[in-house]
Amino acid sequence: DKGGWSSFMAKEINEQPEAIANTVRGRIVGDSVEIPELTALGDDRLRGIDRIIIIACGTASYAGQIGAYAIEQWARIPVDVQLSHEFRYRDPVLTDRTMVISVSQSGETMDTLMAVKYAIEKGVTTVSVCNTQSATIPRESDAAVYTHAGPEVAVASTKAFTAQITALFLIGLHLGRVRGELSAEALAEAVQQFEELPEKMRAAVDTHAEITQLAHWMADTRSVLFLGRHVGFPAALEGALKLKEIAYIHAEGFAAGELKHGPIALIDHGQPVFVLVPSPRTAPLMHSKVVSNIQEIRARGARVIAIVEVGDTAVLPYADEVIRLPLTDALFEPILQVVPLQWFALELSTAKGLDVDQPRNLAKSVTVE
């Protein structure tokens, strides 16, 4: 049931405030974070972990990349992110102090399941971040940390993605607390961010009307670029993937700093570029770097669509379009920033008369290697 929406994807984008609230529920206790499934592993085991590898495919791997920044920051454990289908071929260094966290909406993705089985054989601790109760991957793993986004029907993942980031952040906070790496203030600050997040997410969902207008004049676009820095980089990759998947438009995401190392040659007159602009309050250095990137591409003719936090005026002279999102901490920004990008892909797909929920050549769950 699409609940009055034109597609499941539209419905699922709209459900993100609840998906996040449900994923957080029961895991914030007062000013602290506790995930009972991690507690069950034993604090000594969690304190002994010296390396984390996140494995996933597609959208889930971008959630993993965003989660990696937060886990490193809060728990001070080195984190790598690897695509499931590349993982075992590199003969990874795995010990009994390694934790492998798999991220999968379906919990049935064969590439990820095979990677988890490989990790289990090597004797590492396996944690599954999964949206589907009792799927194969969480059943095989030592611990299952479910995202409670509710069933996701559209092939293109939306609410599962933001719920995956949420779950990985909670894991980072839990590990940081148990390992004594996180001050009470930092923990309380993150808890506060989570409490405010559903309402901010609603504001991000409300960018729909603006994005619809934008997509309208861009219906003939043949290529779109996405730029981000830090956690905005994987969010840019996700924006590009959504557009390829459902609007069949060539799209690429870049780390903004990488521009001058090659991709800037792609910028030509009228090239649309979405830029995810970090907060000038909480990330002033990154913000000023990204504003210079915008100036560089604008000078070469790019059509810049800047996604900024409300009140950021530094980009105004250089952006053709500005999408404003509520203030939040730097780490949390991609959770909001991706929402207008989801709408953009949906509206371009619709403008081209395509089937938003069932893109060609794709299945919701990829159960072959």
Establish if 7 lies at the interface with ligand F6R (CB under 6 A): no
Q: State in angstroms the smallest separation of the CB of 105 from ligand F6R.
A: 3
Name the token pair of 235: 């969010």
Q: State in angstroms the smallest separation of the CB of 325 from ligand F6R.
A: 21
What contacts 262, CB < 8 A, 6 or more positions away?
Answer: none
- The residue behind tokens 């570029």 is 273
Segment interacting with ligand F6R (CB under 6 A) among 12-20, 86-94, 140-148, 153-161: 153-161
Establish if 81 lies at the interface with ligand F6R (CB under 6 A): no
Nearer to ligand F6R, 239 or 280 (CB): 239
Burial 208-241 (b: 16+ CB within 10 A, else e): beebeebbeebeebeebbbbbbbbbbbbbbbbbb
28-29 and 32-33 strand pairing:
antiparallel
For 355, phi then psi, to 5°, come to -85, 105
Establish if 41 lies at the interface with ligand F6R (CB under 6 A): no
Segment interacting with ligand F6R (CB under 6 A) among 40-48, 70-78, 150-158, 197-205: 150-158
Q: State in angstroms the smallest separation of the CB of 106 from ligand F6R.
A: 3
Site track 91-110 with ligand F6R (rule: CB under 6 A), x = hit? -------------xxx--x-
Among 156, 224, 236, 247, binds ligand F6R (CB under 6 A): 156
Establish if 59 lies at the interface with ligand F6R (CB under 6 A): yes
Site track 213-252 with ligand F6R (rule: CB under 6 A), x = hit? ----------------------------x---x-------
Name the token pair of 9: 């994807």
Interatomic CA distance for residues 254 and 293, integer angstroms: 12
What contacts 304, CB < 8 A, 6 or more positions away?
Answer: 273, 275, 294, 297, 298, 318, 319, 320, 321
Tell me the catalytic residues.
364
Burial 145-176 (b: 16+ CB within 10 A, else e): bbbbbeebebbbbbbbbbbbbbbbbbbbbbbb
Handedness of CA 265, 268, 273, 276 (dihedral sign): positive
Establish if 128 lies at the interface with ligand F6R (CB under 6 A): no
- The residue behind tokens 């923990």 is 187
Name the residue with the smallest CB distance to ligand F6R.
Answer: 58
Nearer to ligand F6R, 128 or 279 (CB): 128
Size of the site for ligand F6R (CB under 6 A): 16
SS3 state at 130: strand
Establish if 23 lies at the interface with ligand F6R (CB under 6 A): no
Establish if 16 lies at the interface with ligand F6R (CB under 6 A): no
Nearer to ligand F6R, 274 or 318 (CB): 274
From its phi and psi, is residue 164 left (phi > 0), alpha (psi between -120 and 50) or beta? alpha
Q: State in angstroms the smallest separation of the CB of 128 from ligand F6R.
A: 10
Name the token pair of 352: 């081209």
Establish if 141 lies at the interface with ligand F6R (CB under 6 A): no
Among 157, 166, 271, 349, binds ligand F6R (CB under 6 A): 157
DSSP β-bridge partners for residue 125: 99
Establish if 65 lies at the interface with ligand F6R (CB under 6 A): no
Q: State in angstroms the smallest separation of the CB of 14 from ligand F6R.
A: 17
Q: State in angstroms the smallest separation of the CB of 290 from ligand F6R.
A: 25
Which residues contact ligand F6R by CB under 6 A? 57-60, 104-106, 109, 112, 155-157, 241, 245, 365-366
